[in-house]
Chains A and B, each alone.
Chain A
Amino acid sequence: MSLQEVKKITIDAKPKGNNLHYKELNKQIRDALRDGHNWIVVENVSGQRYIGAGIKEKVTIEIFGDVGLDLGAFSEGLTIIVHGNSEYLLGNTLNEGELVVYGDSWDITGMGARGGRIFVMGNGGSRVGIHMKEFKDKKPAIIYGGKVKQYCGEYMAGGLILVLGLNFKDAVIDTKKPIGRDNIDPLKVKDIEGEIVQSDLGGGMHGGAIYIRGEVPDEYLGVYATKKGFTEEDKIIITPIVERFCELFNVPPELVWGKKFTKIVPVSHRPFGKQYVTTPI
Chain B
Amino acid sequence: MLKTVPRFKVNIDYEKCIKCGRCSENCTYGAITFDREQDKPLVKNNANCVSCQRCVLFCPKEAINISQYPVTYAPHGTWMPYYIRAINEQAETGGVLLSGMGNDMSYPMVFDYLVWDACQVTNPAIDALREPVETRTYLGRKSKNLHISEIEGKFELEDLPPNVVLSTPIVIGHMSLGSISYNAITAMYRAVKEVGTLMGTGEGGLHRDHYQFRSNLIGEVASGRFGVNSEYLECAALEIKIGQGAKPGHGGQLPGEKVNKLISETRGIPLGTDALSPNPQHDIYSIEDLKTLIAALHEASEYKVPVGVKIAAVNNVAAIASGIVRAGADFITIDGFRGGTGAAPRVIRDNAGIPIELAVAAVDQHLTEEGIRHEVTILAGGTLRSSSDLIKIIALGADVGMIATAPLIALGCKVCQQCPTGKCSWGIATSDPILAQRVDIEYGARRVVNLLRAWTHDLEEVLGTMGIDAVESFVGNRDRLRYLGPNPKEAEILGVKHAGDRLKLGSCAS
Contact = CB atoms under 8 A, between A and B. Distances in A.
Interface of A: 22-23, 26, 30, 49-50, 53-54, 56, 69-70, 73-76, 88-89, 92-93, 95, 108, 111-112, 114, 127, 130-131, 133-135, 138, 154-155, 157-158, 204, 206-207, 269-281
Interface string B297-311: 101111000000000
Contacts of B299: 22-23, 26, 50, 53-54, 70, 73
Contact of A204 (B96, B228, B276): B276
Contacts of B90: 277
A216 B274 CA distance: 27
B214 interface: no
A88 B274 contact: no
B269 A207 contact: yes
Given A50-B296, A70-B292, A281 B99 contact: yes
Nearest to A22: B299
A154 to B, nearest CB: 8
A279 B89 contact: yes
Contact of A108 (B96, B283, B301, B345): B283
A277 B95 contact: yes
Interface string B269-291: 11011111010001100000000
B444 interface: no
B89 A207 contact: no
A131 B224 contact: yes
A74 B228 contact: yes
A281 B300 contact: no
Interface of B: 7, 50, 82, 85-86, 89-90, 93, 95-99, 223-226, 228-230, 233, 253, 255-256, 264-265, 267-270, 272-276, 278, 282-283, 292, 295-297, 299-302, 343, 345-346, 416-418, 420-421
Contacts of A131: 223-225, 278, 282
Nearest to B87: A281
Which of B274, B301, B343: most chain A Cβ within 10 A? B274
B230 A76 contact: yes
A49 B95 contact: no
Given A49-B296, A74-B233, 6 more contacts: A73-B300, A74-B230, A135-B268, A269-B270, A277-B89, A281-B99
Nearest to B224: A131
8 contacts: A30-B302, A54-B299, A89-B292, A111-B282, A114-B268, A135-B269, A273-B256, A279-B93
Nearest to A271: B274
A276 B224 contact: no
A contact face: mostly helix, strand, loop, or mixed = loop
A114 B97 contact: no
Nearest to B275: A157
Given A50-B296, A114-B229, A277 B96 contact: yes
B274 A273 contact: yes
A112 B99 CA distance: 28
A135 B259 CA distance: 12
Contacts of A273: 255-256, 274
Contacts of B86: 281
Contact of A281 (B82, B253, B255, B297): B82
Given A50-B296, A54-B300, A133-B269, A276 B345 contact: yes
Given A70-B292, A134-B270, A275 B228 contact: no
Contact of A127 (B98, B282, B420): B282
A133 B265 CA distance: 12
